[in-house]
Amino acid sequence: MSGATNIFVYGTLRDQDILMTALGPEFSDADVRVGTARGVRAAKTAAGPYPGLVKDADAAAPGLLLRNMSDEAVARLVYFEACFSFDLIEVEVDCAGEMFRAEIFWPNDEVDLSAEDWRLEDWQQSEKPLFLAMARDVMAVYPDGGHKGPMILRMGAMRRAVASLRAAGVQPADLRSEFGRDGIHQLHRRRNFTGFFAAETLNFRFRTFGGGLSETVDREVMVTGDAVSVLPWDPVRDTVLLIEQVRAAPVARGDSNPWSLEVIAGLLDRMETPEDAARREAQEEAGLELGRMEKITSFYSSPGALTENMTCFLAEADLSGEGGIHGLASEAEDIRSMIVPFATAMAALESGEAANAPIVVSLMALAARKERLEALWG
């Protein structure tokens, strides 16, 4: 039996890109041996694209034994795993018949483990890009760890990673220039704040319409996840469901009434589709099951300062019931839903009471498409 400052990593840290991200400059000094931890196996988690360990007397979890780790390397790994609610415990590791005492990251009680086995090869083919983006986001603020603790850091990192992967898709360029991402040069990003959202300063040069490159510009942005909204409409009764809740941005602006009249909306979690996210939010915010849906459009909420890209939907719904109070207690949501005639909602648009982009876009879209949707859904 040998012993030292040894850590046995499994799951995503078996992937070299993830291990390099977590260890940073300490990676080059790592003494790595392949091994297994007996009596445990890797299982999927509900919280994200990464596994946890469960006890299984007949199993052995494959992994890497990192031997004689420096204090800085250990600190980086502990920080990284704490963001996903994992703590160190001691285990025995078998490396080709040689036994070592090592520490391993064990999921704490916050981690909801699945009965389904987690396999590295499957993960690398599907969820690795998302988790790698999350890992880079998390380690971008090492050792500070953000400003609101590991759970908020993890949730924010996941949503920002989802948004980044979605943004990489092909976009239409019929009216605008075809400079694309290649038109951005010497990009440097500095993270100023990390919480549920992140604040960054960007320095870059860009291709100009005159054919050259701009001077280096300095821009500040809020980096968020992507969002969805949905306006439920009952084509039989010609009613819509709206919600009301207090919002921090109007509070910060000094609005005389910071309770906002809105359509159902929320952020995308993991790699769910925008439609799935809209259906989930309808359940959470209004206890409502949606029928057929139609996409309105996707747009940047405020491209000068905010990364959020929102996809808006109209949805068929049975609104024969009444409104109520909804929302997730875990997120301190206090949401009042109301069912009103479409004409009443349009009057709120005319008066300025409906005063945010998703509700404006949604009501105008329903007004424009109403006749066609009545024929389809009525």
Q: Looking at the annotation, which residues are catalytic?
A: 331
What are the angstrom distances between the C-alpha of 64 and each of 12, 273, 318?
11, 35, 54
219 torsion bin: left (phi>0), alpha (psi -120 to 50), beta (else)? beta
Tokens of 282: 């309808």
Among left, alpha and beta (phi > 0; psi -120 to 50; other), residue 345 is alpha
Written as one letter, the residue type at 373 is: L
In 3D, which of 224, 225, 229, 376 has the Cα closest to residue 297? 229
Query: C-alpha angle 14/18/24, rounded to 5°?
Result: 120
Does 127 count as an annotated binding residue? no
285 carries a ligand binding annotation: yes
Binding region: 265, 281, 285, 333
Binding region for Mg(2+): 265, 281, 285, 333
